[in-house]
Amino acid sequence: MAHHKQYGARYKARRRAVDILFEAETRDLDPVGVVEERAELSANPANEVAPVAEYTRVIVGGVAEKLDDIDDAIERFLSADWALDRLPAVDRQILRVGAWEILFNNDIDAPVAISNALAMAEEYAGSAAPPYIHAVLDDIVHAADPAAPAIEETGDVPGEELE
């Protein structure tokens, strides 16, 4: 990860959403319930739980609501030898957050969603994940909008910080 990049509030909210989605899946809990639990815990400073950003709530709620559509879109573009349930859990959550932003959040441009997903993949998942996460999310963009320009594999968006 390039150290010169700034981590903005939306990037941090995405990262927290990935954490919450990961925990919910691992513990077989409702992700929206996990968000609410974190919000309640954060109300008491003694718990030392960070407040939940509004955008984290929006992402987790959106992914939970559209999970079947998101997973179908991801599975459509995974290589033939892979199934969504065989991916590392953190990669699955990064893909879900990125796919939700691309498909269901018109306030976020696809290159920004992909750039942030790649930054999280580099941070959490090591060097093997970013190339296939990039490929799957780029394919989702082009399936939704065939006229969309290709997004460079570096994930860097000129003039964009990680937001």
Per-residue pLDDT tens over the stretch 94-111: 999 999 999 999 999 999
Confidence of residue 3 (pLDDT cuts 50, 70, 90): very low
Q: Are 16 and 48 in contact (CB under 8 A)?
A: no
Domain spanning 9-144: CATH 3.90.1300.10: no
Confidence of residue 79 (pLDDT cuts 50, 70, 90): confident
Is the pLDDT reported for residue 16 higher than 70?
yes
How many CA atoms does the CB half-sphere of 21 hold within 13 Å? 28
> Which residue shows structure tokens 């969309």?
148
The reported pLDDT for the residue numbered 69 is 96
Name the token pair of 28: 């077989």
In the predicted model, what is the mean pLDDT of the chain?
88
Q: What single string gives the DSSP state of each residue in 74-132? A: HHHHS-TT--GGGS-HHHHHHHHHHHHHHHH-TTS-HHHHHHHHHHHHHHHH-SSHHHH
Is the pLDDT reported for residue 158 higher than 50?
no
How far is Cα of residue 22 from the mean position of the Cα atoms in its chain? Answer: 11
**The dihedral sign for the CA sequence 161, 4, 7, 150:** positive
The reported pLDDT for the residue numbered 82 is 83
The reported pLDDT for the residue numbered 160 is 44
Name the token pair of 141: 């963009």
Name the token pair of 27: 């513990």
Q: What percent of the chain has pLDDT over 90?
A: 69
DSSP 8-state code for residue 7: B
Predicted TM-score (pTM) of the model is 0.87
The reported pLDDT for the residue numbered 137 is 96
